[in-house]
């Protein structure tokens, strides 16, 4: 058993996708009042991730506290936007907030995205997730679009697309003349 307060971030294993779906449905309903259709939306988004999973381009990380899952984030290649990836399913349980886990998950995702050679990352979110938005902004993401219509699972809220272009690492100039 890890020591009390031990934090670990790992890649997904059997059962983690089920946990992700369940926790998204419960946390977003409890904390934000999202309607049950949100669980359907998340479930439908998981199927392409699982069916088209490519270990060189896709990843799901699980954050654990004291050996129990308390957060997650994923990166999924986007076949519709060549060279770009989607940030997916970012979640932290209440007891895991304020420990730097969100930043650690985001750092892990960005390192992987750069190593995989992505041109950029984009994702869909909603405007009522204020704490998450602060992390996205600190990371360098910016809002690219907002739907004028309310979203189906939170009629008081609007969907947004956020983006972060990734600059390729510059090679050092050759010293050969």
> Quick one: which H or E segment has residue 130?
helix 130-139
- Letter string b/e over residues 55-89, b meaning 16 or more CB atoms within 10 A of that residue's CB: eebbbbbbbbbeeebbbbbbbbbbeeeeebbbbbb
User: What is the band of 3 on the pLDDT scale with cuts at 50, 70, 90?
Assistant: very low
> Quick one: which H or E segment has residue 135?
helix 130-139
Euclidean distance between CA atoms 109 and 87, whole angstroms? 8
Euclidean distance between CA atoms 88 and 124, whole angstroms? 8
How high is the pLDDT of residue 60? 98
Strands 59-65 and 68-77: antiparallel
Q: Which region among 54-63, 72-81, 143-152, 160-169 has the lowest average model confidence (pLDDT)?
A: 160-169
Q: Is the pLDDT of residue 177 over 70?
A: no
Cβ atoms of 100 and 66 closer than 8 Å: no
Q: Is the pLDDT of residue 2 over 50?
A: no
How high is the pLDDT of residue 167? 73
Q: Is the pLDDT of residue 74 over 70?
A: yes
Q: Is the pLDDT of residue 171 over 70?
A: no
Q: What are phi and psi of 32, to 5 degrees?
A: -120, -5
How high is the pLDDT of residue 172? 59
Q: Provide the token pair at 39.
A: 């669980």
**pLDDT tens sequence across 92-146:** 999 999 999 999 999 999 999 999 999 999 999 999 999 899 999 999 999 999 9
Which has more pLDDT, 174 or 92? 92
Q: Domain spans of the chain? A: 7-118
CATH class, domain 7-118, is alpha beta
């Amino acid at each position: 058993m890890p020591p009390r307060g031990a934090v670990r971030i790992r890649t997904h294993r059997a059962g983690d996708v089920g946990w992700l779906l369940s926790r998204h449905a419960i946390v977003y309903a409890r904390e934000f009042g999202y309607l049950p259709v949100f669980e359907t939306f998340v479930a439908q988004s998981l199927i392409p991730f699982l069916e088209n999973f490519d270990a060189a381009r896709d990843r799901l990380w699980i954050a654990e506290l004291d050996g129990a899952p308390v957060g997650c984030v994923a990166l999924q290649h986007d076949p519709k936007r060549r060279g770009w990836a989607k940030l997916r399913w970012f979640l932290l349980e209440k007891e895991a907030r304020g420990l730097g886990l969100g930043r650690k998950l985001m750092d892990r995702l960005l390192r992987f995205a750069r190593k995989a050679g992505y041109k950029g990352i984009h994702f869909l979110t909603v405007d009522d997730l204020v704490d998450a938005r602060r992390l996205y902004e600190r990371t360098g993401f910016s809002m690219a679009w907002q739907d004028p219509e309310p979203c189906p699972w939170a009629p008081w809220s609007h969907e947004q697309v956020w983006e972060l272009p990734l600059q390729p690492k510059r090679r050092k100039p050759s010293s050969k003349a």
